[in-house]
């Protein structure tokens, strides 16, 4: 039987908040079966907790933010969520002392490293997958995203469309058969990117004060500004795919189906997941048992519980 997963022990990370530029500390704690992923703002008295779910995503301007009905928010959750998807972590407490998670290096890699070092445990409860039962499609002008039934696993096919000298057309399309190892190898290190003119605008308006070349790929009108260049030749489309992995894991269940999208982003990805869940005929919550060997499954990251990193700083 495929079982639910959580962390083996608590672990913390510190880093800079993208919006505030201030130091942020986050602690991840193991959670029991069927908890889901629960975020808690420990800087508020009393503390405020909210469950990670598609309906809690209420702001997708600069990043994906969870916002509760009182307006309490936790921003920049998408890269962490993508890492959780790669490990198949269903249950976790995430305690953060600010309105946002640390942006780390603008990718999911620091979270992969952290959880690989910490180790996982399986819980005595079946893991639920979200199997796509029929096609769902959402559109916004020329942008679109869809989920389709498939024969096995989770496959992503994404195209971006930027007209920029540093973005080769042939490098704006990417297909990935998703697995934890494939995510860690192909997507995890892809960083957020933005344009210099947007950075200047945001800083002038007191936005993204923590944004820098340490946590984003920045492009001017001609080239990549970062002195070390790109981590992958196609880092831009890979980052958009990383974002989609995180956005589609907002209800803490791994998807079994094909994801196809053109020029999608956080808002459209969230709309797609909500559309899938809006009608029970669109999906099936299923478990995978040992006598179902022929059923589709996903290989997750299996951290060797070797040396323990108890903190990580960025
Ligand atoms: Zn992102």
Domains and CATH numbers, the chain: 3-126 (3.30.230.20), 129-292 (3.30.1700.10)
41 contacts 96 by C-beta, under 8 angstroms: yes
Catalytic residue among 19, 109, 253, 266: 266
17-26, 97-106, 215-224, 304-313: range with lowest mean pLDDT: 304-313
pLDDT at 271 over 60: yes
Which contacts (CB < 8 Å, 24+ apart) does range 302-307 have? 302/120, 302/180, 303/87, 303/115, 303/116, 303/117, 303/118, 303/119, 303/120, 304/116, 304/119, 305/8, 305/119, 305/120, 306/117, 307/117
Q: Return d(Cα 21, Cα 238) in angstroms, integer.
A: 26
Query: 106 by DSSP, 3-state: which?
Result: coil
Q: Distance from the CA of 74 to the center of ligand 1, in angstroms?
A: 15
From the CA of 108, how far away is ligand 1's center (Å)?
Answer: 9
Q: What is the pLDDT of residue 314?
A: 55
DSSP string, 195-260: EHHHHHHHHHTT-STT--TTSSEEE-SSSB-STT--SSTTHHHHHHHHHHHHHTTTTS--EEEEEE
Q: For the segment 20-61, what is each residue's pLDDT rounded down to a tens digit?
A: 999 999 999 999 999 999 999 999 999 999 999 998 888 777
Which pTM was predicted? Answer: 0.94
User: How many Å lie between the centroid of ligand 1 and the Cα of residue 125?
Assistant: 31
Would you mind telling me the total number of residues written for the chain in this entry?
A: 314
Is 266 an annotated catalytic residue?
yes
Structure tokens at 85: 């998807």
DSSP 8-state secondary structure symbol assigned to residue 102 = B
Mean pLDDT calculated for residue range 236-240: 97
Quick one: how far is CA 105 from the chain centroid? 14
CB atoms within 10 A of CB 220: 13
* Interval between CA 294 and ligand 1 midpoint (Å): 34
pLDDT for res 297: 75
CA 91 to CA 32: how far, in whole Å? 7
- Give the Å distance between the CA of 211 and the centre of ligand 1: 13
Share of the chain above pLDDT 90, in %: 81
């Amino acid at each position: 039987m495929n079982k639910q997963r959580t962390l083996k022990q608590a672990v913390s990370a510190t880093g800079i908040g993208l919006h505030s530029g201030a130091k942020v500390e986050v602690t991840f704690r193991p959670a029991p079966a069927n908890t889901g992923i629960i975020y808690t703002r420990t800087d508020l008295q009393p503390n405020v907790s909210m469950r990670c779910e598609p309906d809690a995503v209420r702001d997708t301007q600069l990043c994906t933010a969870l916002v509760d009905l009182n307006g309490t928010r936790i921003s920049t959750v998408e890269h962490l969520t993508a890492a959780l998807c790669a490990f198949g972590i269903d249950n976790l407490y995430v305690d953060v002392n600010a309105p946002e998670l640390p942006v780390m290096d603008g990718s999911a890699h620091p979270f992969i490293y952290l959880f690989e070092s910490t180790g996982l445990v399986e819980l005595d409860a079946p893991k639920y997958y979200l199997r796509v039962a029929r096609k769902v499609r959402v559109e916004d002008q020329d942008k679109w995203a869809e989920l389709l039934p498939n024969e096995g696993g989770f496959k992503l096919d994404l195209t971006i469309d930027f007209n920029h000298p540093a973005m080769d057309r042939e490098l704006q399309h990417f297909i990935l058969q998703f697995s934890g190892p494939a995510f860690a190898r192909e997507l995890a290190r892809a960083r957020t990117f933005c344009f210099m003119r947007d950075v200047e605008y945001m800083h002038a308006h007191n936005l993204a004060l923590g944004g820098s070349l340490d946590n984003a790929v920045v492009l001017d009108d001609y080239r990549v500004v970062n002195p070390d260049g790109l981590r992958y030749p196609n880092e831009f489309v890979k980052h958009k795919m990383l974002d989609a992995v995180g956005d589609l894991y907002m209800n803490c269940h791994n998807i079994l189906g094909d994801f196809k999208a053109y020029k999608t982003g956080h808002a459209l990805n969230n709309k797609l997941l909500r559309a899938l869940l809006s009608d029970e005929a669109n999906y099936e919550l299923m478990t995978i048992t040992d006598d179902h060997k022929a059923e589709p499954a996903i290989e997750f990251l299996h951290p060797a519980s070797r040396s323990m990193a108890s903190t990580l700083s960025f």
